[in-house]
Amino acid sequence: MDSEEACQQIINGDIELAIITLPGEDNDRLEMKPVWNDPLCVVVSTHHPLAAESKLTIKKLLNHAAILPSRGTYTRKLIDTALGLDESVNTLLETHYLETIKAMVQTGLGWSMLPLSMLDKTLIALDIKHARTTRRLGIVVHSMRTKSNAANAMISQLMKYADES
């Protein structure tokens, strides 16, 4: 499920724990524990017109179609902020699924901003000044509820692999 839905289900008491993209804003009903930093960068396919460009700017990037996470998602909010995007951005497709975005970008249909961990030889990270951001992935539980032994064990295991930063 989407991170936003998982947070709401935790608040409602429907689920106890979620591992998600952490919200950018605090919520007194949610206890958030960052585990991993997930850097994002602007990517295109190896045969996209921008792949051969040097000295790219965000303005030049925005002349091309984008394939982005759906509006309202935590990841999309990070991207919009990092790139200064507004309603006028030329978006070919919006979806909640990063793998779908990656597949569409690989075919050359547009650019996107994806986690560095998703890059492979079919994608090129564009070097655009000020066009990088990092999302925080982590654990979310209800701040006012006692955690089960299973939840505490899961949190303990995950925190062993937490980024140092």
Domain ranges of the chain: 3-159
Contact between 126 and 24 (Cβ < 8 Å): no
With cut-offs at 50, 70 and 90, classify the pLDDT of residue 131: confident
Compute the distance between CA of residue 62 and CA of residue 59 in angstroms, rounded to an integer.
Answer: 5
- Which H helix or E strand runs over 160? none
Question: pLDDT at residue 165 above 60?
Answer: no
* For the chain, percent of residues with pLDDT exceeding 90: 85
Mean pLDDT, the chain, whole residue set? 94
> Which residues are registered as beta bridge partners of 99?
none
Between 130 and 133, residue with greater pLDDT? 133
112 by Cβ neighbours in 10 Å (0-12 / 13-18 / 19+) ranks as buried
- As a CATH number, domain 3-159 is 3.40.190.290
Which pLDDT value is given to residue 162?
A: 92
87's CB contacts (< 8 A; 6+ apart) are none
pLDDT per residue over 25-81, tens digit each?
Answer: 899 999 999 999 999 999 999 999 999 988 899 999 999 999 999 998 999 999 999
State residue 63 phi and psi, 5-degree precision: -80, -5
- Which H helix or E strand runs over 86? none
